[in-house]
Each structure stands twice: as structure tokens, then as C-alpha cells.
Amino acid sequence: MSSFDKIRTRIAPSPTGFLHLGTARTALYSWAYARHHGGEFVLRIEDTDVARSTQDSVDQIIEAMNWLGLHYDEGPIYQMQRLERYQAVLEQLIAAGRAYRCYATPEELTAMREAQKARGEKTLYDRRWRPEPGKVLPAPPEGVKPVIRFANPIDGDVSWDDLVKGPIKIKNREIDDLIIARADGVPTYNFAVVVDDWDMKISHVFRGDEHVNNTPWQINIFNALGAPLPRFGHLPIILGDDGLKLSKRRGAVSVMDYAANGYLPEAMLNYLARLGWSHGDDELFSAEQMVGWFDGTHLSKSPAQWDPAKLDWVNAHYVKQIDEARLAALVVEQLAGKGVAVSVEQVQPKVGLFKDRCATVAALAEWLVMYFAPVSPAAEDLAVHVTDAVRPAISTLAEKLSALTDWNKSSIQQALKETLTASGLKMPQLAVPVRVAVCGRAQTPSLDAVLELFDKKKVLERLQGL
């Protein structure tokens, strides 16, 4: 890294909504790359679209970054607080003849493009306001506020070695003199991003594929400013399971929606990491491991496919693995969302029996709610399983359970066995109706283990209420 003292990366979201999964993946790669090299990671807020940017979105983005554990070393830096700096750099470019004011009206530009189309040409700005040797420019029209355009090199190529896509080369002839400041003086994305990346000494820019067409302009602007060029890496898009770009219309795309639905941050990180990067065959790894491995190689060129089943598989792994007190606290939050108020102490002893069968904390809460709120067995389950043939056995079981002095798995098992012997029923004929009555569902883990975690009183009430 000759031009940079340190590896510095950034994530530069526009605060026009929540943190999107694609942006979260870019943030993760940027963060991991900086951490891998002992560098720094910056959060920049690209809020020049004033009409659509909100502080609420900034807060949501920061909340999601914190939830994922993507801690930044600097920021948030707001572009709208840097307008003076952009202004100064614009003036510098104008003075150097690398930018100029353009007074063309929207109508004139439309007419220009129509004429180009009619001639079968590519629609590019025709440089009518660009000062050039021997060219006489018209007098600036009254009452038209000019935009500022970058004087893009006319000849030659612009090229870079993309960290993801490899070498890319574009002819300058293919790109035109970009508007770098609007008539109201606010800089456009391609200009502000360059000034920022320059000022913030960003050595590596990871971003979505959709920006790859902007990079030639940005490189030319860097060069015009005499600023060192960062390395660029354009990450392929993420496709939904229907093969189309992942979007709100096709399921949850907000990181915090996944938090709300019972996904764990380490699972999201792990899953996002694999969407476009690999380390051998490793599928399950920690953020620390990723940091150790993430050196900017093994980035995939092809679009990644969002796979909810795989995310569930990864999440299930972490649900099993994390500390049960933390898991219980997350269940408490999920239950609170269902209007069921309980404490971690109440929940924690119960998570162990169910966590292995749950992909998410929400699914775990779905199981545990039976311990804390009334159950409502489906009428169909009652009709099918709680038949007159088994009612006497259920009463017998209730009596035997009621008589137990020690309420534990083996005493409950004993009561079940004695009831089977007395009634001549087989275990499923008794166990299923008991499950329906007590748990509100026909299938559960081992019945003695499930019942042990209930208050005896509650079990008896539910059996007697049949």
C-alpha cells in the first residue's frame, strides 16, 4: 500500500431506510478487511438526497450495525456537514480547468438527446459548455443556475484491477462530462464520494455491483485531484430464491427484521459472510475466524443466492451453541412481543429441552409459551385424540400425578406406565391426548421431560379441564 499508511475501509449508506442485507454484507466485508489488516473502518452517511434522508434511518442503520457487532472506528460522518469542503474542491477543479459550469436547460438537453438518438448515436452530453481551446462559449443565460460538470478526459482509457471482478478497462470516449454539483450547489454522489474517500484516506472501497459504472468517473476525478486511488471491489448482487434481485417485495431485507424474527447476530454475520466469499469448505465460523481469513481473496464474481433454509440451518447451529442465559433472555423478549411477561429465571431451565429443534429464537418462544400462557388445542386435535376411549385413562393419570410428592421426570414416567398398565392402552394412545391437552399440540419432545418443566398444578388443571 504505497500511497496509504494504513488500510482504511468504509461503509457509506444513504439514510433512506433500514440497513439492507446487501449493505450489511458490504459493511461486513469492509469491516473484516480492515480488522484483518489491523486497519480502520469508517461509517459515512451519504445524506445528500435531502428529501429522502432521515435521522430515523441513520439511527436504524447504527442500531443494525451495533447488533451485528460491526463496530466502526470513525463516524458517523455526514456528507451534509461537509458542504463547504465540497465547495472548496469544486472551485479548485474549476480553477484548474477540470470542471466547468454548464447552463444547458433540461429542455435543451432533451433536444440534444433526441437528436443523438435520431442519428443512432449514444446519448452523451455534447460538452457544449466545456471550455476548450479555440472555442467561444455563449454568454451565460440570465436566470439559469448552472450545474457543475467534470471535464472528463476525452481520450484514453480508465482502468482498474477490481478486487472482485479483476481488470476492467473503459474508454473515456464512452463516458461523458458528469454533473458533479447540482444547481443548488449540493454535490452529486460521484463527486462527494471521491472527496470523502480522499479526505478519509480510504484505501479500499467495497461496494455493490450497481456502482461499477460509476467507478470510471470516480477514478478520473481522483486523478484530476491528484489524490491516491483506493482499490475497488464490486460485490455481485444478492438474488432472492426466485432468481430476482433481493428486494422488499420478496421477503425481509432489513437486518433488524431478522433480529425481530429470532435470528442471532453471529448467525447473520456467518451467513452473510458466505454470500459472496468462501474459505475452503468452511460454513460455520465466528467473526474472529472470518477476520483471520478475510484478506480480500476468494470473493465470488457470480451473484449470490439468498437461501432462507441455509440461514435457518446456520441460525439453528448458533441457537444450540450460545449460552443458555442469553438464549433465555432472547426468548423473554420474544414472549414479551406476544404479550407474555416472564423472567429469564423462569425461562432458562426450559430452553435446553427444546433448543435443538428450533431454527430461531422465535420458534423456541413458540414452544415455551405453553408454560406461561393458556394453550388452545385445535378442535380437530381434541376430536381425534381425546376420545371417550381414553378419557378414563386420562383421569387415572391425573389422579396418579396429583398423588406424586416428587415432581420429576422419573416419577412422571412411573405414573404414565402405571396408567398404561391399568388401562391397557399403548403409550401413544395416552401420550398424544395428554400433549394436546397440556401443550396444545400433538407432538412434543419426550412427555415426561416436557411435563417435568410445568407446575404440577397447571398440568392437572389442563388434564381435568378436558
CB of 13 to ligand GLU, least distance (A): 5
How far apart CA 171 and CA 159 sit, in angstroms, is 9
How many of the other CB atoms lie within 10 Å of CB of 215?
A: 19
For 140, the grid coordinates are: 451565460
Q: Give the nearer residue to ligand GLU in terms of CB position, either 188 or 419.
A: 188
CB of 335 to ligand GLU, least distance (A): 36
How far apart CA 238 and CA 256 sit, in angstroms, is 18
How far apart CA 429 and CA 427 sit, in angstroms, is 5
Q: Give the nearer residue to ligand GLU in terms of CB position, either 53 or 396.
A: 53
Tell whether residue 357 is a contact of ligand GLU (CB under 6 A). no
For 293, the grid coordinates are: 481469513
Among positions 146-205, residues that touch ligand GLU (CB under 6 A) are 193
Tell whether residue 432 is a contact of ligand GLU (CB under 6 A). no
Q: Give the nearer residue to ligand GLU in terms of CB position, either 182 or 317.
A: 182
CB of 254 to ligand GLU, least distance (A): 15
Which of 11-19, 68-76, 136-144, 223-231 is the region at the interface with ligand GLU (rule: CB under 6 A)? Answer: 11-19
Among positions 31-60, residues that touch ligand GLU (CB under 6 A) are 46
Instruction: Please report, for residues 16, 295, 296, 334, the alpha-carbon distance to residue 327 in angstroms, rounded to integers and kept in the order given.
Output: 32, 33, 34, 11
Which residues lie across from 168 on neighbouring strands?
A: 160
Q: Give the nearer residue to ligand GLU in terms of CB position, either 46 or 177.
A: 46
Which of 10-18, 143-151, 227-235, 422-430 is the region at the interface with ligand GLU (rule: CB under 6 A)? Answer: 10-18
Label residue 350 left, alpha or beta by phi (over 0 means left) and psi (-120 to 50 means alpha). alpha
Determine which residue in the list 1, 14, 94, 324 makes contact with ligand GLU, applying CB under 6 A: 14
Active centre residues (catalytic): 248
Tell whether residue 211 is a contact of ligand GLU (CB under 6 A). yes
Determine which residue in the list 149, 207, 274, 435 makes contact with ligand GLU, applying CB under 6 A: 207
Say how many CA atoms lie within 13 Å of 99 toward its Cβ.
Answer: 29
Among positions 358-377, residues that touch ligand GLU (CB under 6 A) are none
Residues touching ligand GLU, count (CB under 6 A): 7
Q: What angle do CA 456, 325, 28 make, to 5 degrees?
A: 140
Tell whether residue 456 is a contact of ligand GLU (CB under 6 A). no
Tell whether residue 15 is a contact of ligand GLU (CB under 6 A). no
Nearest CA to 439 among 417, 458, 420, 412? Answer: 458
DSSP symbols for 212-246: TTTHHHHHHHHHHHTPPPPEEEEEPPEE-TTSSBP
Q: Which spans of this chain sit near ligand GLU (rule: CB under 6 A)?
A: 12-14, 46, 193, 207, 211
